[in-house]
Amino acid sequence: MERFKLFKPGDRVAVAVSGGKDSLTLLYLLSKYRDQLGVELVAVLVDEGISGYREYKRFTAEKYARAWGVELRIASFKERFGFTLDEAVFALMMEGLSVKPCSVCGVLRRYLLNRTALEVGADKLATAHNLDDEAQAFLMNAIQANLTAFSREGIADTKAHELLVPRVKPLYFAPEKEVMAYALLNSIESPYVECPYIVYSMRNVVRRWLNYVELEDPLVKYRVLASKELLAGVYKEAGEFKLCKLCGMPSSGDLCKACEVSEEVRRIYKLKRS
Ligand SMILES: [Zn+2]
């Protein structure tokens, strides 16, 4: 955090919390060091509406936020977009599932985290992405030839637009196993429930593959991260923004990704229910 100057004294930091081990560890660390860092914290949780999963994680996040004296803001898909992720997946299933649940969820969650961070007046949005997450994200972007994404997945964003809260990732260099060990040593517990949609995700395949390669090559994740860092400087995004015609948030097209996706889901959902 010091080396990359992730925070400066006086920052109001929104901490993205899912209720899993990584984000609870991040919240724990930041609440422990908030005075030294001189920052003010507010935890932000997105309730996607995934039954059999989200309610347990949400309860856990509420419990720890209370214990560590951090205010918790909850934003939900249902409230903002009018449907839960379960309802969105139902609609997509009826259409033959051409779009994967994680793509829908990822776009909407990212959008909602940013909006909520804006609403609480945050200067930074801290997320718990660890070394494994970053190495997986890089490989997924590489597989999908999404090269411009390399430039926006670093340890800290620069402020690209006044309506986009810069993201920082304090656990960027920490392997998942170490985060997990740290959580266990500090009695941070999270229920063993997995998102039911993980079976559809490309990330899961990449994750298993990377862990498999790591058995032979213990440094592979660090080298993947190094490649990512090198390429981040090569492929730059245009970085020009319009404002979304529906919600007014920064967007590359007339509609932002979140409005595009949620409009489509609402359209199908209505169609299939009537
Ligand atoms: Zn929009």
Cα of 240 vs centre of ligand 1, distance in Å, is 16
CA of 121 to the centre of ligand 1 (A): 20
Average pLDDT over residues 65-92: 95
The pLDDT score that the predictor gives to residue 145 is 84
CA of 234 to the centre of ligand 1 (A): 29
Contact between 17 and 45 under an 8 Å Cβ cutoff? The reply is yes
CA 258 – ligand 1 centroid, Å: 6
The answer to whether 83 and 120 are in contact (CB under 8 A) is: no
pLDDT at 271 over 80: no
pLDDT mean across residues, the chain: 92
- Structural element, H or E, at residue 101: helix 101-119
Tens-digit pLDDT profile for residues 16-36: 999 999 999 999 999 999 999
Task: Say what percent of the chain tops pLDDT 70.
Answer: 96
> Which residues are within 8 A (CB) of 196 and not within 5 positions of it... i.e. 6 or more apart?
50, 52, 53
| C-alpha 38 – ligand 1 centre gap (Å) | 34
Distance 256 CA to ligand 1 centre (A): 4
> What pLDDT, on the 0 to 100 scale, is given for residue 200?
84
Task: Single out the residue of 271, 136, 261 nearest to residue 198, CA to CA.
Answer: 136
For the chain, percent of residues with pLDDT exceeding 90: 72
Ligand 1 centroid vs 245 CA: distance in angstroms?
A: 7
Q: What pLDDT shows up at residue 77?
A: 97
In this prediction, residue 100 carries a pLDDT of 83
Q: Is the separation of the CB atoms in 131 and 175 below 8 Å?
A: yes
Counting DSSP H helices and E strands in the chain, the numbers are 10, 7
Query: Model confidence at 116, in pLDDT bands (50, 70, 90)?
Result: very high
pLDDT score of 274 more than 70 = no
- How many whole angstroms from 157 Cα to the centroid of ligand 1? 21
Domains of the chain, start order: 12-273 (3.40.50.620)
**pLDDT score for 222:** 96
Query: Residue 110 C-alpha to ligand 1 middle, in angstroms?
Result: 12
Q: Which pLDDT does position 105 carry in this prediction? A: 94
Residue 44 has pLDDT above 90, yes or no: yes
Q: How far is the CA of 107 from the centre of ligand 1 (A)?
A: 11
- Write out pLDDT tens, residues 203-215: 889 999 999 999 9
> pLDDT band for position 99 (50/70/90)?
confident
pLDDT of 176 over the 70 cut = yes
Distance 94 CA to ligand 1 centre (A): 25
The answer to whether residue 238 scores a pLDDT higher than 70 is no
Q: What is the pLDDT of residue 158?
A: 81
